[in-house]
Amino acid sequence: MVQTDALATIEHASVRFDTPFTLECGTTLPNHTVAFRTSGTLNAARTNAVLICHALTGDQYVAERQPVTGKPGWWEMMVGPGKPVDTDRYFVICANVLGGCMGSTGPREMRPDGSAPWGTDFPPVTIRDMVRAQKQLIEHLGIARLFAVVGGSMGGMQVLQWAALYPDAVFAALPIATAAHHSAQNIAFHEVGRQAIFADPDWQGGRYWESGRIPARGLAVARMCAHITYLSEEALTRKFGRRLQGAPKDSSEAISLFGEMFEVESYLRHQGSTFVQRFDANSYLTITRAMDYFDLAADYEGDLANAFRGTRTRFLLVSFTSDWLFPTSQSRAIARSLNRAGANVSFVEIPSDKGHDAFLLDEPDFHRTVAGFLRGCAMHAGLAA
Amino acid sequence: MVQTDALATIEHASVRFDTPFTLECGTTLPNHTVAFRTSGTLNAARTNAVLICHALTGDQYVAERQPVTGKPGWWEMMVGPGKPVDTDRYFVICANVLGGCMGSTGPREMRPDGSAPWGTDFPPVTIRDMVRAQKQLIEHLGIARLFAVVGGSMGGMQVLQWAALYPDAVFAALPIATAAHHSAQNIAFHEVGRQAIFADPDWQGGRYWESGRIPARGLAVARMCAHITYLSEEALTRKFGRRLQGAPKDSSEAISLFGEMFEVESYLRHQGSTFVQRFDANSYLTITRAMDYFDLAADYEGDLANAFRGTRTRFLLVSFTSDWLFPTSQSRAIARSLNRAGANVSFVEIPSDKGHDAFLLDEPDFHRTVAGFLRGCAMHAGLAA
């Protein structure tokens, strides 16, 4: 189990805003930093920008090597030259969310007075706070209107929030495998993850930078639990079934029958232990909380349609048949609200047995759907091919 | 969080077997104890005995006050005078499983040499080992054939194992909300729970009796995670939705927005913290492992029908529509195998939005189904009303 803070060794391209930024909770940050990456070229009219919003454990390294892990970007199947979000045509931007741990202001950044990291004193942030920080970045880049805002899971929540808050700044919105609010079951799974972190004595009330020991075991358990919810029962069965492998000989923990353990156990342990190298526990607490509190309709008298009345944004909603974390029923509810608001909306349910993670994986139908929708929007937006 | 070992203060009615008992793993226990409870009266012909098999965290206190918690028995809706399993007609037996922590031989019992508790050196047990220990108890009670064997979840696994291993000793078998093998997803959720226990420094490699500090936080996280899988999304939404309540003021852990937390979080924390008072962490490790390894078909050349060929046992399979842990598809697969084996089988899927836990809750259709099936079987068995 890695105990060192690998995150501390990386520098990220970023912009610092020195104007006060008041969060939804009432706290004002005197300044804040937004770390971001771009690819492709902004056209002269500044009309070809696509903002990608990342999910809970994602980051701004969408389509390039992630500097901590050295692995490919998390959405290289979707974003790049000739890909559905074609960087030969579009100027792609992705920012690390507020509260994150890849260079944007969050719990592991220093307090404004420079005395110590924020830790758990970092104010709670909301999806709306994240989106407002992204809007500042977009303005900083001289872009008045985004051609498209695209994101899956928590990224999709941000897309919905963007379309509700800044309808004139979003030509096309693609909320994918997402919901307009977090369900009780979603909240419950997040709470298990948080309790696993709290239960790790190395969490040290969130002040783990003092000892240099990070709460790796608790964070790993949180990740393992979440990871199961990202996969379908079918995907787990297909990948692992009940196949056995040799149990680690040096572990008192195996409690194996006949010296064997299940492959799915080994896989989950690996998922947990690699995750802690690239993610900050306090950021995990902050961002899961932001997702849990997301309830877009609540900001509009309890009627989601009110969030979108009069909008001219074109929407593409995508869900996946085997996604039980953000099931099709939640995308359908968004589609209904958009219809009631008179919005221009397409809704596609992609057959897949890969679960929630399908939006990150090789799903040709999904990629064709996004590519086709963006091509159509580009025509309507007057973007030359 | 309770840190003391409440389990140590209770004595349970039990029988000790001094004949060597060889487990499936090859280890021989020189003696072993089976703690059990009965209710009702065994008839003169000894033909009215019903064995109830308990689930992962259940115990022998089916229909009477649980001595550790002081709460009612876990299946009082099903078992008692005038209930579907009518103790005015049947002699009901329930034994704590081998590996359990309510008086049967398990990790918290002393080793044969009396030097220390078994802890994690307790040999791995299987569902078959549990059932063989129950068979010994039944013989000890002078019963050659059980009128019925009934159980839900892991209890249902035992019912299937009983019917396969001792077909002539089971007149009627009722495997409820169960499966003939544990799925990859089921194994994965169990592994998260085990890792949460291992991650608790109070687990101390399983030797927590030495310090007297039990791994309460890790076990609580394991319970919280499992508990979500026992409930349906609908049940969680109906019970809690997104309702908020005040966050505990004394907790640095709340990381709440606006000083509030979700009711579902508070509920889960309560579930976790009460569970650790009545359950032993090493038993949790042992029994989850037994469930994970259960694969009845594997013992019969990979064909479940082989487990039941020629059986005269009457089967009632029950599943619940919203149970995603042991979904209807798994009961249906058992029913198909029983049909191929030419067995006498009824299969009922009960409409319910209560998830896996439905088998423990107020589900009148379910209770009527069991009562009707047992009445019919009693007629065929020549048991006078």
What pLDDT is recorded for position B1? 36
∠ at Cα A157 (A152, A158), nearest 5°?
95
| Nearest CB partner across the interface for B225, out of A192, A218, A265 | A192
> What does chain B come to in residues?
385
Please, what is the average pLDDT of chain B?
A: 94
Residue A124 contacts B, CB cutoff 8 Å = yes
Architecture per CATH, B11-183+296-380? 3-Layer(aba) Sandwich (3.40)
How far apart, in whole angstroms, are the C-alpha atoms of residue B251 and residue A171? Answer: 44
pLDDT digits (tens, 9 = 90+) for B274-288: 999 999 999 999 999
Residue B302 contacts A, CB cutoff 8 Å = no
What pLDDT is recorded for position A232? 96
pLDDT digits (tens, 9 = 90+) for B105-146: 999 999 989 999 999 899 999 999 999 999 999 999 999 999
pLDDT tier at B251, thresholds 50, 70, 90: low
Is A356 among the catalytic positions?
A: yes
What pLDDT is recorded for position B254? 47
Q: What's the gap in Å between the CA of A126 and the closest CA on chain B?
A: 9
8 A C-beta contact, residue B131 and residue B21: no
Q: Is B224 close to A295, i.e. CB distance below 8 A?
A: no
Q: Is B184 close to A286, i.e. CB distance below 8 A?
A: no
Q: Is A221 close to B126, i.e. CB distance below 8 A?
A: no
What pLDDT is recorded for position B7? 73
Token output for A202? 């190395």
Q: At the topology level of CATH, where does A192-287 sit?
A: Rna Polymerase Sigma Factor; Chain: A (1.10.1740)
Q: How many CB pairs under 8 A join A and B?
A: 169
How far apart, in whole angstroms, are the C-alpha atoms of residue B335 and residue B176? Answer: 12
Chain Cα centroid distance, residue B263: 28
Q: Between 1.10.1740.110, 3.40.50.150, 1.10.150.120, 1.10.420.10, what CATH number should domain B186-287 receive? A: 1.10.1740.110
pLDDT digits (tens, 9 = 90+) for B207-232: 999 998 999 999 999 999 999 999 99
Chain B interface disruption, residue of A203, A221, A289, most B CBs within 10 A: A221
Q: Is B289 close to A198, i.e. CB distance below 8 A?
A: no
The terminus-to-terminus CA distance of chain A in angstroms comes to 49
Question: Where are the strands (E) in B160-302, listed by range?
Answer: 170-176, 244-246, 260-262
Residues of B in Cβ contact (< 8 Å) with A264: 184, 187-188, 191
Is B331 among the catalytic positions?
A: no
What pLDDT is recorded for position A3? 43
Q: Which residues contact A379 (CB under 8 A, 6 or more apart)?
A: none
How far apart, in whole angstroms, are the C-alpha atoms of residue B37 and residue B155? Answer: 16
| Nearest CB partner across the interface for A191, out of B181, B268, B292 | B268
Residues of A in Cβ contact (< 8 Å) with B198: 217, 253
Q: Is B237 close to A185, i.e. CB distance below 8 A?
A: yes
| Nearest CB partner across the interface for A265, out of B187, B205, B233 | B187
Q: Is B187 close to A241, i.e. CB distance below 8 A?
A: no
Chain A interface disruption, residue of B118, B187, B229, most A CBs within 10 A: B187
| Nearest CB partner across the interface for B252, out of A120, A126, A236 | A120
pTM for the model: 0.94
∠ at Cα A292 (A290, A295), nearest 5°?
90
| Nearest CB partner across the interface for B289, out of A195, A240, A255 | A255
How far apart, in whole angstroms, are the C-alpha atoms of residue A335 and residue B144? Answer: 62
Q: Is A184 close to B265, i.e. CB distance below 8 A?
A: no
∠ at Cα A90 (A59, A64), nearest 5°?
35
The answer, yes or no, to whether residue B255 has pLDDT greater than 60, is: no
pLDDT digits (tens, 9 = 90+) for B147-178: 999 999 999 999 999 999 999 999 999 999 99
**How many CB atoms within 10 Å of residue B250?**
7
Closest chain B residue to A222, measured at CA? B192
Q: Between 3.40.1190.10, 3.40.50.1820, 1.10.10.10, 3.40.50.720, what CATH number should domain A15-185+296-380 receive? A: 3.40.50.1820
Residue B144 contacts A, CB cutoff 8 Å = no
Q: What's the gap in Å between the CA of A112 and the closest CA on chain B?
A: 20
Residue A286 contacts B, CB cutoff 8 Å = yes
The answer, yes or no, to whether residue B340 has pLDDT greater than 80, is: yes
Residue A240 contacts B, CB cutoff 8 Å = yes
Residues of B in Cβ contact (< 8 Å) with A25: 257-258
Chain A interface disruption, residue of B186, B189, B195, most A CBs within 10 A: B195
Q: Which residues contact B34 (CB under 8 A, 6 or more apart)?
A: B14, B15, B17, B95, B96, B98, B104, B105, B133, B134, B136, B137
Chain A interface disruption, residue of B120, B182, B192, most A CBs within 10 A: B192
Catalytic residue among B153, B232, B283, B331: B153
Catalytic residue among A14, A39, A153, A232: A153
ipTM value of the model? 0.93
Closest chain B residue to A120, measured at CA? B255
Question: Where is B318: in which H helix or E strand?
Answer: strand B314-320
Q: Is A240 close to B184, i.e. CB distance below 8 A?
A: yes
What pLDDT is recorded for position B70? 94
Give the C-alpha distances (Å, rounded to integers) separating B294 from A299, B122, B129, B181, B250: 49, 18, 11, 5, 44
How far apart, in whole angstroms, are the C-alpha atoms of residue B99 and residue B108? Answer: 9
How far apart, in whole angstroms, are the C-alpha atoms of residue B143 and residue B45? Answer: 9
Is A153 among the catalytic positions?
A: yes
How far apart, in whole angstroms, are the C-alpha atoms of residue B146 and residue B170? Answer: 5
pLDDT tier at B10, thresholds 50, 70, 90: confident
What pLDDT is recorded for position B256? 59
Phi, then psi, of B337 in degrees rounded to 5:
-65, -40
Residue A3 contacts B, CB cutoff 8 Å = no
What pLDDT is recorded for position A331? 98
Report domain extents, chain A: 15-185+296-380, 192-287
Domains B11-183+296-380 and B186-287 are alike in CATH topology: no
What pLDDT is recorded for position A246? 82
Q: Which of A61, A90, A88, A95 is nearest to A75 (CA)?
A: A61
Q: Is A295 close to B198, i.e. CB distance below 8 A?
A: no
Per-position pLDDT tens, chain A of length 385 = 334 456 766 789 999 999 999 999 999 999 999 999 999 999 999 999 999 999 999 999 999 999 999 999 999 999 999 999 999 999 999 999 999 999 999 999 999 899 999 998 999 999 999 999 999 999 999 999 999 999 999 999 999 999 999 999 999 999 999 999 999 999 999 999 999 999 999 999 999 999 989 999 999 999 999 999 999 999 999 999 999 988 766 555 545 555 678 999 999 999 999 999 999 999 999 999 999 999 999 999 999 999 999 999 999 999 999 999 999 999 999 999 999 999 999 999 999 999 999 999 999 999 999 999 999 999 999 997 6
Say whether A308 sits in a helix, a strand or coil.
Answer: coil
Q: Is A258 close to B221, i.e. CB distance below 8 A?
A: no
